[in-house]
Structure 1
Amino acid sequence: MSLPPLALTQGDPAGVGPELSLLAWARRNALGLPPFACIADIDHLARLSRRLGLDVPLVACDWDEAGRHFATALPVIPLAEATAAEPGRPAPATAQGTIASISRAVAAVRQGQAAAVVTNPIAKSVLYAAGFAHPGHTEYLAHLAGDGGTPPMPVMMLWCDELAVVPVTIHVPLRAVPDLLTTELIVETGRIVAEGLKRSFGIANPRLALSGLNPHAGESGALGGEDAAVVAPAVTALRALGIDARGPYPADTMFHARARAGYDAALAMYHDQALIPIKTIAFDEGVNVTLGLPFIRTSPDHGTAFDIAGKGIARPDSLIAALKLAARMARQLAKAAE
């Protein structure tokens, strides 16, 4: 099945994203990577390629030319915003190019020019210093998906071949989690996850396992009442919607191999409860998938890594996994639409 190329964003040009893009293209044949095009400043990529001693030819092109160029050169959709960024030296002056790369990737997918959005890491602090008005990357993608109206609710799923896990609450202090965690939030998250697994992964009847919030899932109330009062009713409500949801289970027994065989995705109640197991299982190959958007978005499960940018030691494993998964999801959507 032939698909348009994937739209790969620039990310923060002072981070590892641009060099990971170069490294991924250099390994395209050995790893059977799907065609992708970078939305970036081509001169910046050329300087970085020379700095790292990489033999990566670049070609500026339009979307309709990217696929045929991919075999012999890395296709670049040129940004109007030039960057003088140096690896490891983030600067607010680069923010507009970073933002433009994201918005153009979304536009390309929504216009059918690209198959999916794959985003390189950004630094929110750099964007904030330039006046960026959104809490983060995902919220900006949801804003673009909303077309000026109410944005959809995005859900972050961390994925590898062995595990898919979703944190219901994400980047908040641990002490704030019990107040933010509601039955309604869990149900809506579970509904979006189940729909995403059906739509983009081809799982006809997704099985969801929900963790408890407290140790031992509250141990019948002895270790906290939230599991009985908040999580258990969410499981009941999800099942009433026809979703195969189970739990709440003690989080410390949910992630060994035998337990993972019993579900398609785990819903964890807070950030570390979700990310510790997947980063233990697949530290270098984990992928961040955003469900709930009207387009596919994946990204590496790591940050900008300013401390190693430009040193030639960054590993492209997670970006490669994100590219492969985006293509797999796009093929599934195309198959379902036939």
Structure 2
Amino acid sequence: MSAAPDDAVFAPGSTTAIGSLPHRDAIAAAVCALESTTIPCIPSLPRRSPAESMVAQAVSGLPGVTPGQYGSLAIDVRRFDVDAAAHVDLGTEAFGGLRAFLDVANARNYRGPVKWQFVGPVTLGVSLIRAGAPKDVAFPLAVKAVRSHLAAIAAEVGRRLPGSAQVVLLDEPWFGSLMSPEFPIPPEPAVDAMSEAMAVVEPLATVGLHCCDVADVPSMLASGPRVLSIPLFATLPDSAGYLHDFLSRGGTVAWGAVATGGPILSSADRYWRLLVDMWRDLADRGCDPDLLRQRSIITPQCGLGLHSMAVAQRVLELTATLGERVLDEVQAVPFPR
């Protein structure tokens, strides 16, 4: 199945989630994912199994790398080699959330779009280096591992849900440190690694890039995503020109508009005001205000795997409320009130 046109996937007011949920029951997590947002997000479930953490998923089947219980990695340098094949087995503990979601969605005859997420090669490469891997091996092997998993997951989702358009986001939390002089590799090879990873599923899916930190937007866009998933950070209007060009070319921004750190508000009013203020600042610097609203997805800022069930549900409800407000504004007024 080829990738669906973005306009057929992202209706105004679309909502989705970011990666993880706190459920230990994979079936309950799948039901939650299918019922909470307009574009269901296939969840990972790190509380159900540490193997479902994003780095552990990526190194499963990678020779010489063993994930620890709390996110650590152990590397056997005798077996860790750039030419090693990345074996992918979606039947392991690492992909219990994926399998349960596909089972439930298939049983419901679900045919709408689905979104899923996987760690990006830059973050995986940094994780391997921090575990003791040599830099000249870590990043090429990270690209290989990510590409292998992306291809396998996209094929399985397409097989089980043949009528569903896929949205795939690569999760790159380390992109927030990309411009630091201490970063293990320069920005250009990091951008190239992202582009190479995304290319493997571009014929099958709408592919994008997620960073839950304050990131360098031009570098993120240089990798060629069709979706940019970012939080509302204070310096974002400095990149208004880049965002305008991105939106004008048909790109979509997934706004991490609902905070997932600190106290979770009981009302969506403040989150809505922060989003509208951000749009105004961007419009004042040259972004088309209609494109800002029309080519938007509303999401939580980050995954919800570390929260309680009640907090996670509340965040998803707030996300849905913001999506409804975006849709109301697109249909009703020239610019957000």
TM-score, structure 2 as length reference: 0.29
Query: Whose Rg is larger?
Result: 1
